[in-house]
Structure 1
Amino acid sequence: MSLHPAAPEDLAGLVTAYQQTTQAVVDLGRTCSDADFDLPTACPGWTVKDQISHVVGLESWLHTGEVPRVDVPDYDHVQHEAGKFVERSVELRRTMVGAKVVDELETIAAKRVEQFSAPDLTIDSVVQGAWGPAPAGENLRTRILDIWTHEQDIRQALGRPGNLDSGGASVFMDLLFASLPRLVARNAGIEPGNVVIIDSTGPVAGRAGVWVEDSDDGKPRGIPLFSGIAHDGDPEDVFTTITLSTDALTRRAAGRGGLEDIHYTVHGDEDVARRVLENLVFVP
């Protein structure tokens, strides 16, 4: 697996990526008119302002531990308890002026940067995460992934593409490539004897591959390629390479739209490529 630019690995680099990503959302919000805030986005039921409200709400909860006290109507896009929990922060701000929500984000993001920049904090220090206590480095990666994804949702709705070569983009790609063995072998159910390679043409350029083999539990197992891990490949392995841009790859991996909404090329088995792309979604 290789990426250029590479994803940050140290705490300072992750804090910088987090700060840059949250600031990008703030900057987008500062340019929004009332009509812009009301534009629908790729997340069902959410406008541009709702996307920002979601980021504000989750960062505020992680920082303070306080859960908004508000009733959530039976929206069609809220389908489970986790969705209802997330929706509380959005519902709380539905009557707020968009600019005020952006002010909130700027304030809470500064507090979060201060928290993660504390002199005694290390990348392994355990802090509260969205899924429970977790090391600061893991927490930051998860939050960067989520916020950068919503930043791209906002950009798509506004027609203002950008930030595809940022630290946030690299973190997204790094986490996706790390998940690829599971996504290819288990989620897509690609048969043993297949090798799947994904080439991202950029702005975050990278290549990751998975060799699928049999395992003891009778289910296919993915072995990462280009990682220094040896495998007993077979000359008859079937190679399939999927080539697409950072934008197309991350939109698909975030579950935004279907295959007809992205451009990609395939060298090898078209059916294998389609199954991989259909099962590539890894963002919660």
Structure 2
Amino acid sequence: MPATLEQLTGAFTEQFARLREWLEPLGDTLGGAAQLPSSRTGWSNRELVVEIGASVQSLLNAEPAPAGTTPLSLAEYTGHDSDFDAELTQRVREQAAGLTQGVLEYLEEMHTRATANLLALGDDEDSVVLGALGPIRLGDLVRTRLLDLVTYTLDLEASAAGRMDLSAGNTPVHVPALRLVADELLDIVASRGGYHLEVVDARMWTRLATGREPYNTLALTSAIQPTDTAGGVPDLGRVLPLI
């Protein structure tokens, strides 16, 4: 069952708060690792944090669509081409290089302003707004921002592995938000294939579904399972990654 706008917004707020709390003691140098390569190939840790701010900024820039505007589906909205990806990458890198304020201050500012705009857009998840890629339902726009926020936070977590203590209580990931995102991603698969599946490892499933973890059936069967014990986990190699 897809999450409601209230659930999505709550998870977004809680995930951001957890990330900000985790980043605070590291400071703008990110514990001396700002310029080091992140787990995301070709990106530094600083650029990755700035990308989170740029993703949040999409909520800040959203505005009500003219009456009668037909929204794009979630799949249509997220199915942008590689040219847009390249443009976005270049823009984020330029923004990271030219940022005049501290990276954590920038992140906080984007979140504060985006939250204010989200409140102004109202609480009707079916209302149509103009996002960065076109018209979309408000609920779906917040869904895309939460998915990005959790995914990039997982990237930061992976970047810190072996360099920081990531034992229980010291992860940037807000587990309930991760679980919600994992369930949303599984809903996409289930709706396309008619499968009856459930998440057993939210972190692994999200990494597989977003291309952070190379696809293999062992990882897949450790991450999801059939709701019917007599069933099996389908081979999803042709549909992953979803994002």
Tell whether the 8 Å contact from 2:18 to 2:172 is kept in structure 1 after alignment: no
Q: C-alpha distance in 2, partners of 1:162/1:27? A: 8
Q: C-alpha distance in 1, partners of 2:158/2:136? A: 31
Aligned counterpart for 2:151 among listed residues 149, 152, 160: 149
The answer to whether structure 1 residue 55 and structure 2 residue 52 are counterparts is yes
Determine the structure 2 residue equivalent to 1:12.
6
- Counterpart secondary structure, 2:126: coil
Q: C-alpha distance in 1, partners of 2:59/2:121? A: 20
Q: Alignment identity in percent?
A: 18
Aligned residues between the structures: 207
Q: C-alpha distance in 2, partners of 1:106/1:197? A: 40
The answer to whether structure 1 residue 275 and structure 2 residue 235 are counterparts is yes
Aligned counterpart for 1:172 among listed residues 173, 177, 181: 181
Determine the structure 1 residue equivalent to 2:206.
250
The answer to whether structure 1 residue 200 and structure 2 residue 210 are counterparts is no
**Pair 1:183–1:258, CA change in 2 (3 A):** farther
Aligned counterpart for 2:84 among listed residues 69, 82, 93: 82
Q: How many angstroms does 1:250 deviate by?
A: 0.9
Aligned counterpart for 2:173 among listed residues 153, 163, 173: 163
Identify the structure with the greater helix proportion: 2
Residue by residue, what CA displacement relative to the aligned partner does 1:108-151 show, whole Å, maximum 9, x if unpaired? Answer: 11111111123855222222324312121111011101111101
Identify the structure with the greater strand proportion: 1
Output aligned runs, 1:232-251, within 5 Å.
245-251=201-207
RCO higher in 1 or 2 (8 Å CA, sep ≥ 6)?
2
- Counterpart secondary structure, 2:235: helix
Q: Which runs of 5+ in 2 are unaligned?
A: 63-80, 227-231
RMSD: 3.3
- Counterpart secondary structure, 1:127: strand
- Counterpart secondary structure, 2:213: coil
Q: C-alpha distance in 1, partners of 2:144/2:208? A: 18
Q: C-alpha distance in 1, partners of 2:89/2:225? A: 42
Determine the structure 1 residue equivalent to 2:105.
103
For 1:200, the aligned partner's letter is V
Q: C-alpha distance in 1, partners of 2:49/2:225? A: 39
Q: Which runs of 5+ in 1 are unaligned?
A: 2-6, 66-78, 186-195, 202-244
- Counterpart secondary structure, 1:36: coil
Q: C-alpha distance in 2, partners of 1:39/1:113? A: 30
